[in-house]
Amino acid sequence: DAGVTQSPTHLIKTRGQQVTLRCSPKSGHDTVSWYQQALGQGPHFIFQYYEEEERQRGNFPDRFSGHQFPNYSSELNVNALLLGDSALYLCASSFRVRGLGTDTQYFGPGTRLTVL
Amino acid sequence: QQPVQSPQAVILREGEDAVINCSSSKALYSVHWYRQKHGEAPVFLMILLKGGEQKGHEKISASFNEKKQQSSLYLTASQLSYSGTYFCGTEIGNQFYFGTGTSLTVIP
């Protein structure tokens, strides 16, 4: 059973460009969350997708957008890249059990984005 | 709303024990624990769903005091493989917050 996969592994962009990162969830998972992790910090929640809709959003500007497809895979798009967007972008998938109130998240290996 | 962890960093010799604490200013309904090794993704260790719940994973266990809005992770007889950064986390309103992190280094 494949776990969470992300592509690409590494990416180098210049300021002002746009980038798309991709995530395939673990089999049986229907919820995808995206996180940004700057060097030396913990992951920060960007947003979560469930049933192809953004269910919750963290404190990130509109330059960060996403999409979830019918097969539950997801994309993260970042427009007008800034130097400060350089980070490890993590995707986590989970399955929401009704009434449980929380998910167990499984993380992909991440995409290392460098903005020059 | 980010949970605060203590200590920030700890160095252990193999076989020693450690405790990592996680405190929140908001009510905790669940606590997750993750370990992240350098350059890798966080790996799920365990989740505690009820106040007072304790769980174990090999020689790593955790407790959850809902009233105090705290959780603690216990590592006993540490091994070199335990090195990494440990994060607690909690979900508030469909948004997941990771704690500030604790760097654990186990040396021979």
Please list the pLDDT of chain B residue by residue as tens digits (108 residues): 789 999 999 999 999 999 999 999 888 888 999 999 988 899 999 888 876 566 666 789 998 888 888 999 999 999 999 999 999 999 887 788 999 999 999 999
pLDDT value at position B14?
A: 96
Angle A85-A15-A60 (CA atoms, 0-180°, nearest 5)? 30
Q: Do you find a cis peptide bond into B7, omega within 30 degrees of 0?
A: yes
Give the confidence band of A102 by pLDDT, cuts at 50, 70, 90. low
Task: Answer for the pair A38, A87: CB distance below 8 angstroms, yes or no.
Answer: yes
pLDDT at A99 over 60: no
Contact across the interface for B30 and A104, Cβ inside 8 Å: no
pLDDT value at position B68?
A: 81
pLDDT value at position A57?
A: 92
**CB atoms near residue A51 (< 10 Å):** 11
pLDDT at A114 over 90: yes
pLDDT value at position A1?
A: 64
pLDDT value at position A76?
A: 98
Nearest CA in chain A to B91: A102
Question: Average pLDDT in the A59-84 region?
Answer: 96
The rounded percent of chain A whose pLDDT value lies above 90 is 79
Distance CA A6, CA A24 (A): 6
Nearest CA in chain A to B36: A42
pLDDT value at position B58?
A: 72
- Name chain A contacts of B85, Cβ cutoff 8 Å: 42
For B51-81, letters b (16+ CB in 10 Å) and e give eebebeeeebbbbbbbeebbbbbebeebeee
pLDDT value at position A81?
A: 97
Task: Answer for the pair B30, B91: CB distance below 8 angstroms, yes or no.
Answer: yes
pLDDT at A103 over 90: no
Amino acid at site B78: S
- Chain B residues within 8 Å of chain A (Cβ atoms): 2, 29-30, 32, 40-44, 47, 49, 85, 87, 91, 93-101
Question: Average pLDDT in the A69-77 region?
Answer: 96
